[in-house]
A and B are shown apart, each in its own frame.
Chain A
């Protein structure tokens, strides 16, 4: 019952928002949906809900974790959205090229935002590969109008790229699903994850490998693993900042869950070596590509997008290494979503005041808008994995696991790339925060500052202390996916 509510509540609210003409009511509905969704998820932590639809929809610990992350981020983003939507004018001038453009009508935006949440909840709860596929496809469809919020040619290009590249990925994932049924043709009902893991000895290993490869390429496209990440920078840079935060912090994770599900089947079928090696390779490759593009990046939102590519790489690497690194990887996922959410929301504030996305045009954030400036600087250290932030713990654990396993070359590459990325980001971001500003100090509204601050505080706390209930869930997940 609760699961049905979690999925249907945002969907119904989204459809309702489409027909509500009064802006205040629409925004209130968005906030209400976000809060009640978060409350339902919190309830799930206390009592694990019963499966519904013959077990097609059920909440396991991985699903719970992913859903919680997207729920928290959605709550922050929707609070931010209230302020954002009220300050967005009907028609505005483009910051780069100077033409005038309008926005997507607010009812469509809010409706899609909530449908997006519903689709993500479905991704996290589906226990059936077909349903999972439908859900991930739905997230693409629901999020495309969000990226095209500012109606001009660059965002149209970003949206076109996003939909085209992701739908090719989705198509490949469907092919993977077909191949999975071939590999498991001896099993009745061979798309249920539990059936596959229970009867893993009946699975044909060669076909399973092929299926894994296609899942990795297909969902990896959407997750932003290099070299299939090309939609990601444009989409993150052109969409409104709160949408970027959701894309980076929630959507990418959901696609990662798709890969994790098939990885789980591989682990049970004794093919973990194959899948782990691929994950390690793509993980390191994504980090390397991100490092190359972060250095010399002029657009700071694009830089954050490449940083997401990097962190997706770290997640894949962690899961690929197995053992403790899976625990660390999941922990990394939480912290990355929170930190990246905070950074994108802070970037939204910077754009609101400076009217540009070019980092060299931004100077002296700390002087002009101090709260955002502090967030931006703290965010740099958080995303680069400095103590006491949560990402330090996870990156260090992943490093330590690789070291313990004797993968010294992985350790070396990992450290070198992290250092390179830190240097690249620090140069850009510190230059933006520091320096003098001619405009003097300005006042930021509470709605702009509160959501990123809360996200930042959570990741700070997580860096110092991991609560027991979280440890339990993370342990359960690392038992499922830990290939050792």
Chain B
């Protein structure tokens, strides 16, 4: 069991934790932990010796995803008067069961994809798919705007894990991934400025003939 494998399993558990948690505070903490763990990936996923670049990248990701976002989310949680419960469309028990099914599918998928010879860890692609799924699932299955933002952060983490899993080292692409964080900031700002305490009744379905 190497470090990369352990990191992947921790990430997997944080995802399950997110699906199961019913309090916003706990959710924010889990997202922070996931951010910290994702931040370790640049150190693990380098082919050669560690460079200053990968240290800086790790530092940046840890600061942004592990410290700044959780702080902003907490601040928003305090400043916008929202109920501390998560209010799911799909209950926690059902969420976990769906999560397990998704996990099985992710493993199945990653076993049937002919990956290039060198990947970070056997479990990494599956965990990446699962993280992406969890992010999307949180976005569509939770009522609050704040939870949707967390879902988006998780989704983004999933993409980043996928990149590290395949050792995609084009620094340009990695930096592109960081630009994605701009959206998160936009979302959080949106919630803070416009006091979106709940998202809207139908984020993904458009009712026929509605006004």
A interface residues (Cβ-Cβ under 8 A, vs B): 96, 130, 133-134, 137, 141, 144, 156-157, 159-161, 163-165, 167-168, 170-171, 174-175, 177-178, 181-182, 185, 191, 206, 230, 233-234, 292-293, 296-299, 358
Contact = CB atoms under 8 A, between A and B. Distances in A.
A422 B174 CA distance: 47
A181 B182 contact: no
B186 A293 contact: no
Contact of A160 (B179, B190, B208): B190
B159 A233 contact: no
Given A130-B176, A160-B196, A182-B166, A141 B208 contact: no
A206 B114 contact: yes
Interface of A is mostly: helix
Tell me which of A175, A178, A185 has the highest count of chain B C-beta atoms within 10 A of its own C-beta: A178
Contacts of B163: 178
A285 to B, nearest CB: 15
Contacts of A165: 203-204
Contacts of A161: 200, 203
A134 B176 contact: yes
Contacts of B173: 130, 177-178, 181, 191
Rank and list the top 4 A-B pairs by shortest CB-CB distance, nearest first: A167-B183, A157-B200, A230-B206, A175-B159
Interface residues of B, number: 38
A206 B116 CA distance: 12
Given A156-B194, A178-B162, A167 B176 contact: no
A234 B162 contact: no
Contact of A293 (B156, B180, B208): B208
Contacts of B186: 141, 144, 163
A96 B211 contact: yes
B190 A137 contact: no
B50 interface: no
B170 interface: yes
B152 A297 contact: no
Contacts of A358: 211
A296 B208 contact: yes
Contacts of A168: 136, 139, 152, 155
B199 A160 contact: yes
Given A175-B159, A206-B114, A299 B211 contact: yes
Contacts of A178: 159, 162-163, 166, 168, 173
Nearest to A159: B190
Contact of B187 (A164, A181, A234, A296): A164
A156 B196 contact: yes
A134 B182 CA distance: 11
B145 interface: yes
Contacts of A292: 208
A170 B211 contact: no
Nearest to A133: B176
6 contacts: A144-B186, A160-B190, A163-B187, A191-B170, A230-B206, A298-B209
